[in-house]
Amino acid sequence: MDGENFMKNILCIGAGYVGGPTMAVIASHCPQYRVVVVDINKEKISAWQSEQLPIYEPGLDEVVRHARGRNLFFSTDINQHIAEADIIFVSVNTPTKSFGQGAGKAADLQYWEKTARQILENSTTPKIVVEKSTLPVRTAEAMEVILNSNPKGLHFDIISNPEFLAEGTAIRDMEEPDRVLIGGRETPSGQKAIQAIVDIYTNWVPRERIITTNLWSSELSKLVSNAFLAQRISSINAISALCEKTGADINEVAHAIGLDNRIGPKFLKAGIGFGGSCFRKDILNLVYLCEYYGLSEVAAYWEQVIKMNEYQQARFVSNMISAMFNTIAGKRIVLFGAAFKADTSDTRDSPALAVCRSLLDERAEVVISDPHALENARIDLGEAAKRVTFEPDPIAAAKGAHAIAVLTDWLNFTRLDYEQIYRSMVKPAFIFDGRNLLDHKKLYKIGFNIYMIGKPPLTHSISV
Ligand code: NAD
Ligand code: UGA
């Protein structure tokens, strides 16, 4: 791997859902830069070097294949690549702290700080260090202190360049971002560092979509962006509960309000609540920051977004239990979907797994079917996985079941032969559509009792 012919050496520390795809897109558009992605996880790096990439993401294979070996490399030799880098993106995980002060809310920055110290130890030239991970506002200040109080006399510029991609559409989001946000210091050196990052993105992003701000606005905008998106989901889910009581239909309400230009149609899909590795973590972090600065009303306001999400999941399970004659013990219940959303293999904080755990607590016999996420589901469920059957074929999974719960919006669940599924199930057969995904009228005609989110159920008179 010879770095001499490249204009600049870019390094990304952390080869996860963000580091891998973002660097692959940068490398594919910027053949003049050498892009190396490193990680402490050897298996992950081997997977990135192989034909079987560690994450499922539409379009990712093609982008990686295009650049890998040309100017995109994956490695575990972190120290050597730090030494060679001009620009270092840090994309390590920033989970919620599980211990000590701020436990359950604050961001656990230990991986970040370790990385900063490792950068310092292995640097012999000045560098630009880019926060790609989502971080609490003012993290860059701590990074500046750690990196710049060094006896070597090296200067490091810290830049915030938060990532807004969503899983399942990561490549499209990177290729055509709504905006790229770059925050930095207002000093001459800070401005030069901002320009170096702008120069990367202008290789494919129109200049007017690249916005530059001060460091704190950039860090805070990322948390606020996720909080606003999650807030819309909690808002529509709150209204779905009211729809179920009043006979209004949540899809019709969402459509009607979404046509107002000021509201807009996106992120108004009611369901079993948001999941994924970030919304919950980032809102908790925002709540913690507000509490830290003494803004208890602001903290309580945002905390409610999470409470509503938990309520929606709990409500879904209790609706299932009451529809199935107040007991599901020993009943075979098939979960269609384990991933936190369609088009990803990611099951981190997936509402499907939360529902699975609640059903296991009720002693149901749970079977999970998912086209890409079964392996991650098994890992994330831990001990509970021993009590679950994993079946990739949804038709086989539904055989002999009392109920199906649709928990991930995979399109393939809409294309199944539900007549065949109905025939193979115990009667009365139930479908609980937690994503309002299926053709409910058609299923009702086949004979199913259908329960949806934010709509009256379609049930045949059931004799117990
Ligand atoms: P991830 O867990 O998939 O990846 C993080 C990687 O960092 C892991 O592979 C881990 O082994 C590696 N790592 C940890 N410490 C390291 C160290 N000291 N040296 C080298 N490697 C190290 O996480 P992710 O989903 O890619 O998220 C990363 C950050 O990006 C988080 O802050 C997250 O909030 C943010 N983010 C995530 C998404 C998303 O869709 N997943 C989108 C936008 C922003
Ligand atoms: C989200 C944001 O959309 C990204 O902009 C951000 O970069 C990312 O978090 C992050 O910081 O990690 P992601 O979690 O990958 O992306 O996926 P989303 O499409 O936002 O979906 C999140 C959850 O909300 C999923 O469980 C999804 O099913 C649910 N959702 C989404 C709804 O229930 N209703 C909707 O209308 C939209």
Q: Is the CB of 163 under 6 A from ligand 2?
A: yes
User: In the numeric block, which tokens belong to residue 19?
Assistant: 């580091």
Q: Is the CB of 114 under 6 A from ligand 1?
A: yes
Q: Which of 233, 235, 263, 308 to mutate to test the pocket of ligand 2 (most atoms within 8 A of CB)?
A: 233
Helix axes 296-323, 351-361, angle to 10 degrees: 50
Residues assigned a catalytic role: 278
Give the pLDDT score at 128: 98
Q: Is the CB of 13 under 6 A from ligand 1?
A: yes
Give the pLDDT score at 464: 43
Tokens 């000093």 label which residue? 187
Q: How many residues does the chain have?
A: 464
Q: Is the CB of 274 under 6 A from ligand 2?
A: yes
User: In the numeric block, which tokens belong to residue 169?
Assistant: 């559409």
* Cβ atoms of 156 and 130 closer than 8 Å: no
Q: Is 309 helix (H, G, I), strand (E, B) or coil?
A: helix
Q: Is the CB of 268 under 6 A from ligand 2?
A: yes
Q: What is the pLDDT along the chain (464 residues), one digit of tens a residue?
A: 445 678 899 999 999 999 999 999 999 999 999 999 999 999 999 999 999 999 999 999 999 999 999 999 999 999 999 999 999 999 999 888 899 988 998 888 888 889 999 999 999 999 999 999 998 888 898 889 999 988 889 999 999 999 999 999 999 999 999 999 999 999 999 999 999 999 999 999 999 999 999 999 999 999 999 999 999 999 999 999 999 999 999 999 999 999 999 999 999 999 999 999 999 999 999 999 999 999 999 999 999 999 999 999 999 999 999 999 999 999 999 999 999 999 999 999 999 999 999 999 999 999 999 999 999 999 999 999 999 999 999 999 999 999 999 999 999 999 999 999 999 999 999 999 999 999 999 999 999 999 999 999 999 975 44
* Cβ atoms of 84 and 193 closer than 8 Å: no
What is the whole-number distance in angstroms between the Cα of residue 92 and the centre of ligand 1? 4
3-state helix, strand, coil in the chain (%, to 5): 45, 15, 40
Cα torsion through 58, 63, 64, 67, rounded to 10: 180
Q: Which of 12, 53, 56, 92 to mutate to test the pocket of ligand 1 (most atoms within 8 A of CB)?
A: 92
What does pTM read for this prediction? Answer: 0.96
Amino acid identity of residue 226, one-letter, is: N
Q: Which atom of ligand 2 is nearest to the CA of 162?
A: 7
* Cβ atoms of 304 and 230 closer than 8 Å: no
Q: Which of 91, 340, 380 to mutate to test the pocket of ligand 1 (most atoms within 8 A of CB)?
A: 91
Distance CA 314, CA 308 (A): 10
Pairing mode, if any, of strands 430-433 and 403-406? parallel
Pairing mode, if any, of strands 365-369 and 388-390? parallel
Q: Is the CB of 308 under 6 A from ligand 1?
A: no
Distances (CA, A) of 11 to 79, 306, 355, 458: 11, 35, 39, 55
